[in-house]
Amino acid sequence: MIPAQVIEAKRDGRAISSSRLRDFFSAYLAGEVEEYQMSAFLMAVLFRGMDARELDDLVEIMLGSGASLDLRDLGAARIDKHSTGGVGDKVSIALAPLAAELGVYVPMMSGRGLGHTGGTLDKLEAIPGFRTDLDLGAFRAVLEAVGCAMIGQTAEIAPLDRRLYDLRSVTGTVPAIPLIAASIMSKKLAEGLTGLLLDVKVGSGAFMQSEERALELARVMVGLGAARGVETEALVTAMDRPLGRAVGNTLETAEAFRCLAGGGPDDLRALVVLQAAAMARLGDSGRTEPDAIAAAEAALDDGSALRRMERLVEAQGGDPALVSNPDGFERAPVVRAISADRDGRLARVEPRALGEAVVAMRGGRARLGDTIDPRVGFLLCVEPGDALSHGELLAEVHAADEAAADAGEVALRNAVRWDDEGGPLRPLVSHRV
Ligand code: URA
């Protein structure tokens, strides 16, 4: 197998046989295909796509590059959730303990920030001491003890996805439906699940910017799951504004903890409750939606989901005191208040611009191996629809220094849309697949 020939075949839109695909990716894992060659291949996939057989092969190659968990002896349903990536999307952090509270096991494996979007792993690692690199034995022990466990892909699970994920993040090759579908489904299928909920984000802050593409991605992933015996459901949800008010790792984790304590922004709570209810129903088809929603609301309001999160954080080496005291997180050295420079009604804040600004402030990765500063980001102080007068507080920029705060302020001001700019907001949840 000559790597350049595989790249050329994809570039020219020719199908690649199963055995050539397998050889190409094995050679990459063995260090015999260079990162620049894989980057070129991924870019070719972005433009040319993959047919159904190639996608199926890619899922199997990724899945087979590592181990799979066998959790059948746990008895109860094992349900995970995965988002295709958005700005301010901290749902998973609140969702895992909440869904566990509703009676399903949640063996959650998440990713790092991808492109301009944040990743659950980076948000969890904002908790001092929290270990996302448990081996599968330790992961299983936490899952059994707490009902949920949250880690990144270990070297054992879909290691090919781990390599490609990091590479795609820094080479502009994320928004290809087959690459996203294979990345997500290979990890999830290795988790030994009985059911899977997918949150397919749509809008300018998502990788799928149109409803048609979001629905296509949702259908492809639901089909891949169903074909492998995992009951899979997808929700298409809004990413034409950040979810909640916090964008940036520490700020988002703190906001997820507030949601677990029964507070936090309404849109975040609504999505967390809806997704927990969907996971509970995937785990128990006899459960009705209103019953599952009421149980999720109660578990947020009575503190039981919060207490489960404390147990999870403690079990994974983090400081559980932060869960009920998110003000205890270390703050960025510079916190700058930004006020409105005009009167008007806030239409929305452009999510992609904020996500890109967080990466520029070193809260995400611009290159392979970059370390990130979890403290930086934005805290919006108002919501779409709010009327503001000139000089009223709009947001805070959290930055490592004054120069970064200057850049963050410019990005935020450019991202604000007033009055009727940009048209109406998308519904929080527009489709179920
Ligand atoms: N989440 C993943 O795990 N992979 C992607 O490609 C996108 C979102």
pLDDT tens digits for 176-235?
999 999 999 998 999 889 999 999 999 999 999 999 999 999 999 999 999 999 999 999
The reply to whether ligand 1 has any atom less than 6 angstroms from the CB of 85 is: yes
Residue 275: inside a domain: yes
- Buried-state track 376-401, b at ≥16 Cβ within 10 A, e below 16: bbbbbbbebeeebeeeeebbbbbbbe
Q: For a substitution probing ligand 1, which of 58, 84, 166, 239 has the most ligand atoms within 8 Å of its CB?
A: 84
183 alpha carbon – ligand 1 mean position (Å)? 6
Task: Assess whether the C-beta atom of 178 lies below 6 angstroms from ligand 1.
Answer: no
Determine the atom of ligand 1 nearest the C-alpha atom of 110: 3
CB 263: neighbour CB atoms within 10 A?
14
**Does 183 contact ligand 1 (Cβ within 6 A)?**
yes
Does residue 167 share a domain with residue 89? Answer: yes
Q: Answer whether residue 428 is part of any domain.
A: no
Tell me, using a 6 A CB cutoff, whether residue 46 lines ligand 1: no
Range of the domain at 130: 72-326
Residues 12 and 123 in one domain: no
Best residue for ligand 1 mutational test, from 121, 164, 167, 174 (most atoms within 8 Å of Cβ) = 174
Q: Which of 372, 364, 379, 377 is nearest to 404 (CA)?
A: 377
Q: Whose CA is nearest to atom 5 of ligand 1?
A: 180
The CATH number assigned to the domain holding 26 equals 1.20.970.10
Q: Name the residue type at position 188.
A: K
- Point out which residues pair with 419 in neighbouring strands: none
Whichever domain contains 342, its CATH number is 3.90.1170.30
Q: Residue 73: pLDDT above 80?
A: yes
Residue nearest atom 3 of ligand 1, based on CA coordinates:
184
What is the per-residue pLDDT for 95?
98
Say yes or no to pLDDT of 367 above 90. Answer: no
Q: What share of the chain in percent tops pLDDT 90?
A: 85
Q: Are residues 210 and 313 in the same domain?
A: yes
Distance, CA 85 to ligand 1 centroid (Å)?
7
CB of residue 114 inside a 6 A radius of ligand 1: yes
In this structure, is residue 102 part of a structural domain? yes
| Chain centroid offset of residue 86 CA | 7
Nearest CA to ligand 1 atom 1: 84
> What does the block give as tokens for 216?
């296509």
Give the residue carrying structure tokens 């220094």: 401
| 211 and 347, same domain (yes or no) | no
Say yes or no: 272 and 352 in one domain: no
Shared domain check, 316 and 279: yes
Q: At which of 292, 326, 360 does a domain end?
A: 326
Does ipTM exceed 0.90?
yes
Please identify, among 326, 346, 370, the residue that sits at the C-terminal boundary of a domain.
326
Q: What is the pLDDT of residue 372?
A: 92
What pLDDT score was predicted for residue 344? 94
Same domain (yes/no): 104, 150: yes
DSSP 66-131: S-----GGG-S-BEEEEE---SS--HHHHHHHHHHHTT-BEEEEE---BTTB--HHHHHTTSTT--
Domain shared by 413 and 282, yes or no: no
How many angstroms separate the alpha carbon of residue 415 from the centre of ligand 1? 25
Say yes or no: 319 and 335 in one domain: no
pLDDT tens-place string over residues 274-301? 999 999 999 987 889 999 999 999 999 9
- Ligand 1 atom at minimum distance from 180 CA: 6
Closest C-alpha among 130, 87, 134, 96 to residue 363: 87
Per-residue pLDDT at 152: 87
- One-letter identity of residue 389: S
Q: Known catalytic residues?
A: 82, 161, 168, 183, 187
Domain identity same for 251 and 352? no
Q: How many domains does the chain have?
A: 3
Phi, psi of 411 (to 5 degrees): -60, -45
173 lines ligand 1 (CB under 6 A): no
pTM of the model: 0.91
Reported as a single tens digit per residue, the pLDDT across 99-129 is: 999 999 999 998 887 878 889 999 999 999 9
Q: Which atom of ligand 1 is nearest to the CA of 174?
A: 6
